[in-house]
């Protein structure tokens, strides 16, 4: 890397700065064991994070001596927080399409309820 990959907008249109990347130098030694000509170790940058709040509760109500009713409610992504996928095209020579995000990791808020009768 030749600069800060997070410099700039950091939006879904371009998550990383394309000017922060460059082609590595040619390998000059046969049997070279380090990754320095290739730009260093993998995972030099990280993508957008993910946070999601899921909740659920249930209540069992006894009806008579041997029967009961169970009510359940569950909500997924309660705060309706979007979690973007990892950036797509990582060809830094194509600055217009570099590191664009075109999909989501999670779904919008979902809720479900259920009732069960135990005999």
Q: What whole-number distance in Å separates Cα of residue 16 and Cα of residue 90?
A: 9
pLDDT at residue 88 greater than cutoff 80: yes
Residue 1 has a pLDDT of: 66
How confident is the prediction for the chain on average, in pLDDT?
A: 85
- Mean pLDDT computed over 66-90: 93
pTM of the model: 0.63
- Please tell me the distance from the alpha carbon of residue 17 to that of residue 10, in angstroms, as a whole number: 8
| pLDDT given at position 60 | 96
Tens of pLDDT, residues 31-67:
776 666 665 555 568 888 889 999 999 999 999 889 9
Return the top range by mean pLDDT from 26-30, 49-53, 63-67, 112-116. Answer: 112-116
Measured CA distances, 84 to 9, 16, 65, 75, 106 (Å): 15, 14, 51, 20, 8
Residue 40: predicted pLDDT: 57
């Amino acid at each position: 890397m030749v600069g800060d990959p997070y410099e700039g907008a950091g939006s879904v249109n371009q998550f990383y700065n394309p000017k922060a990347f460059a082609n590595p130098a040619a390998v000059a030694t046969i049997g070279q064991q380090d990754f320095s000509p290739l730009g260093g170790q993998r995972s030099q940058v990280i993508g957008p994070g993910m946070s999601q709040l899921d909740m659920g509760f249930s209540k069992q109500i006894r009806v008579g001596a041997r029967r009961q009713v169970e009510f359940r409610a569950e909500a997924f992504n309660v705060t309706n927080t979007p979690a973007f996928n990892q950036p797509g095209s990582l060809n830094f020579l194509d600055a217009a399409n570099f590191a664009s995000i075109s999909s989501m990791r999670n779904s919008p808020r979902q809720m479900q309820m259920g009732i069960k009768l135990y005999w």
